[in-house]
Structure 1
Amino acid sequence: MKEHLESEEYVALLNTPCFNQQVKLAFLFSCYTGLRWVDVKRLEWQDLQGGKLITRIIQQKTGKPVVLTLHSIALAILEEIKQLSLGKTVSANKVFSLPTANGANKVLGEWIKRAGVNKYVTWSCAILSFSILLKDKNVDDVTIAYLMGHTTIRQVQQTYKRYKPKDQSEAISHLPSFNIAGVL
């Protein structure tokens, strides 16, 4: 299974400086939206409807339109990007000014290491993390599939799951309890 980030690792990344702020913000945006590298790289300001807190995009992989309600952290990232772009010419209204995929993954690797996350993380990890954390919060497969731009739930059921429980104690606590005094 590919690597994914846990919620405490999200926090570590949020709090760790990165020498390329655009890569940091774009990766975190992917973690909070489930958008793939190609979709984040081509995202334009006109794709965003700030007043309604949603974005309309056509995902490159599926060709399907997806409406995403943006998490408050995704919205804060957009505000930060606006502040970084003040007084600068932004080509073609792109939200993020990013290097090549290889360049971004190199920056990502150094930043991940600096944050103390001991995993091999690439951009696809953001999407997997997004889906697994939603599943951990008992979001249904249909909703996750929609948010990720999938047309069926098959991909969600096969790919976006944990192969081992995050918290075995929590899982065990769901078993029924009763008084066994005198039964055994």
Structure 2
Amino acid sequence: YVEYLKENGTGDGPKIYFRMFKRMVTAAVDKDLIKKNPCRGFVLKNDNMTLQKEILLPEEIQQLVATHFEGEKPEIHRAFIFGLYTGVRWCDTSQLTYRNVDYSTQTLRFQQQKTKDHSSRSWVIVPLNDTLIRLIGEPDNDNFDERIFKLPHYNICNLYLRKWVKAAGIKKKITWHCARHSFAVNVLTKGANIKTVSSLLGHTSIKMTERYLHVVDSLKQDAINSLGEINYTPI
């Protein structure tokens, strides 16, 4: 099963599926349904320092933002664009209320669902510019407990995202989490300090942010290579 996952899975998928399988097997052993745990001794690891998902470059983001088509869902567009410019995960974006926004200081403050209750860095503060404030908008009837983005289930959002990306003519496999990766790579490429990016993403360790540096270095190399060969012969 481990070999099958390695050959047929991508990104963090194989590791996640095997972890879920091991939990089920462990529960079966605890209930005496099976005598021996067949997962013992098997480990499935991936390279955490390598970015597994695609990213959208600034020009592709502009291309996506400018794309409109029949049956489009503006609320999903608005939320995904927000993720591209803040790096906030879907699980947090879907739970944000207007109470998380301080309009006077133009900041967003929230507790990350992923690290809530087991990390001292679960709270994140994200500065907002005028564009993001307009994207967020204001609550109806001053109801600050209203959710900023009224999103359907995560899987539905991803299915719709494929249609949007295809309509934009972008030939990449983009999921919602790619917005977070795109944000990190794009701000690092623009010269942002890695500690600043780590803080904006709410990472518990800067090592988690360092994996984006490999992509940034690759993009720089691609930029140099795109200049072509120099047909110059010294006299």
TM-score, normalization: structure 1? 0.82
Select between 25-34 and 160-169 the one with higher mean Cα deviation.
Answer: 160-169
Could you list the runs of 5+ residues in structure 1 that have no partner in the other structure? 173-180
1:161, distance to aligned residue in structure 2 (A): 3.7
Could you list the runs of 5+ residues in structure 2 that have no partner in the other structure? 1-51, 117-121, 226-233
- The 2-side partners of 1:151 and 1:46 are apart by 25
**Aligned residue identity for 2:133:** L
Q: Could you say which residue in structure 2 is the equivalent of 1:12?
A: 63
**1:67 pairs with 2:125:** yes
Map 1:157-172 to 2 at 5 A.
157-159=210-212, 161-162=214-215, 165-168=218-221, 171=224
Deviations 1:29-83 (A, max 9, x none): 011111000000000011101121101101111231111101343222113xx5x
**Aligned residue identity for 1:11:** Q
Q: Could you say which residue in structure 1 is the equivalent of 2:9?
A: none
Q: Could you say which residue in structure 2 is the equivalent of 1:30?
A: 83
- The 2-side partners of 1:16 and 1:86 are apart by 28
**Aligned residue identity for 1:8:** E
- The 1-side partners of 2:222 and 2:144 are apart by 51
Deviations 1:128-166 (A, max 9, x none): 000000110121211111000012210011256417632
Larger radius of gyration: 2
SS in 2 for 1:52: coil
RMSD (Å), alpha carbons? 2.5
Q: 2:105 aligns with which of 42, 52, 73?
A: 52
**Equivalent pair of 1:4/1:128 in contact (CA under 8 Å):** yes
**Equivalent pair of 1:142/1:153 in contact (CA under 8 Å):** yes
Q: Could you say which residue in structure 1 is the equivalent of 2:176?
A: 123
**Aligned residue identity for 1:146:** S
- Compared CA separation, residues 17 and 142, structure 1 to 2 (3 A): same
Q: Which runs of 4+ in 1 moved over 6 A?
A: none
**1:153 pairs with 2:186:** no
- Compared CA separation, residues 93 and 55, structure 1 to 2 (3 A): same
Q: State how many pairs are aligned.
A: 169
SS in 2 for 1:68: strand
- Compared CA separation, residues 163 and 48, structure 1 to 2 (3 A): closer
